[in-house]
Amino acid sequence: MTAAGNGPRFAAAPVVDGGTPAADWRDWVDRLPALDLSECPALVVVAPHPDDETLGFGATASLLHSRGVDVTVISVTDGGGSVPGLSPEERRWLERQRRDELRSATAILGLDQPMALGLADGEVAARQGELTTLLADVLAARPPGTWCAATWRGDGHPDHEAVGRSAAAAVSRTGATLLEFPVWMWHWAAPGDEAVPWHRMSAAPRDHAAMERKRNATAAYASQLAPYRDGAEVVLPPFVVERLFAVPEVVIR
């Protein structure tokens, strides 16, 4: 990953084109070492948008919580930019719906109600310093070594990368442990891609009950899984969602 991230790679791979098929990833991810969940004293999941907490790390967060680990979800933006061309009033309706979906999804995962910061979707980089300070305050109040799981700094989406940078800076100020999880990497990258630090990646265990909770929680995001209005494209087409279920939840450490 370069300092500039992988935004150009993501921009050059339109979602509607399908991206890397799930089948291409199956043998590759089987090679990854296992993530030892027993090392986690507490978990803070930092999601750029409502749904990233579920799609990127939902099963692992749910599994850890079921084992008695304290889990906090921080949803950074209001998610209002996922559907282009909305009027200001329509965007406010979408933001409210996504907050409701977030609360429903985290409840299905068995987690406590999330912290929703409400930053503007698409503008996280402009608030990165403020976000870093907030995350550092949250992590400083948690046990030493708390896992901070945030979207990867090289994921391609600008908000995902900005959240990852803020999380990395916050961890450097505290005794927390950074874990970065990809979401859109599975779309634009390919097995063995030199832009991905595979040597630092490990795969979380797949627990059947936790995966079922993740699938049900994903279904709560109706605004992203079907056209929001006539003529709009689906934000998360079925092949994107199924690819994220076909691969394990992985982290870069």
Let me know if residue 9 belongs to a domain. Answer: no
Question: What is the average pLDDT across 55-63?
Answer: 98
Structure tokens at 51: 């749904």
Let me know if residue 108 belongs to a domain. Answer: yes
Task: With cut-offs at 50, 70 and 90, classify the pLDDT of residue 2.
Answer: very low
CATH number at 95 reads: 3.40.50.10320
Amino acid of residue 171: V
Nearest residue to 56 (alpha-carbon basis) of 217, 172, 197: 217
What are the beta bridge partners of residue 203? 34, 250
Q: Is the predicted pLDDT of residue 3 greater than 80, yes or no? A: no
Let me know if residue 80 belongs to a domain. Answer: yes
Residue 15 CB-density burial (10 A; 0-12 exposed, 13-18 middle, 19+ buried)? middle
The total domain count for the chain is 1
Let me know if residue 1 belongs to a domain. Answer: no
Q: What is the pLDDT of residue 4?
A: 67
217-241 pLDDT tens trace: 999 999 999 999 888 889 999 999 9
118-131 pLDDT tens trace: 999 999 999 999 99
Question: What is the average pLDDT across 97-112?
Answer: 98
Residue 19 DSSP label = -
Let me know if residue 15 belongs to a domain. Answer: no
Residue in the block written with tokens 């990852």: 164
What residues contact residue 30 under an 8 Å CB cut-off, 6+ apart?
Answer: none
Let me know if residue 47 belongs to a domain. Answer: yes
Let me know if residue 106 belongs to a domain. Answer: yes
Let me know if residue 29 belongs to a domain. Answer: no
Contact 163, 124 (CB under 8 A): yes
Which residue segment(s) compose the domain that 106 sits in? 38-252
State residue 99 phi and psi, 5-degree precision. Answer: -65, -40
**Helix boundaries (H) for the chain:** 7-11, 22-29, 52-66, 88-108, 128-140, 158-172, 185-188, 208-219, 222-225, 238-246
Question: What is the average pLDDT across 94-122?
Answer: 97
Question: What is the average pLDDT across 21-49?
Answer: 96
Mean pLDDT of the chain: 96
Residue 84 DSSP label = T
What residues contact residue 71 under an 8 Å CB cut-off, 6+ apart?
Answer: 42, 43, 44, 45, 61, 64, 65, 111, 112
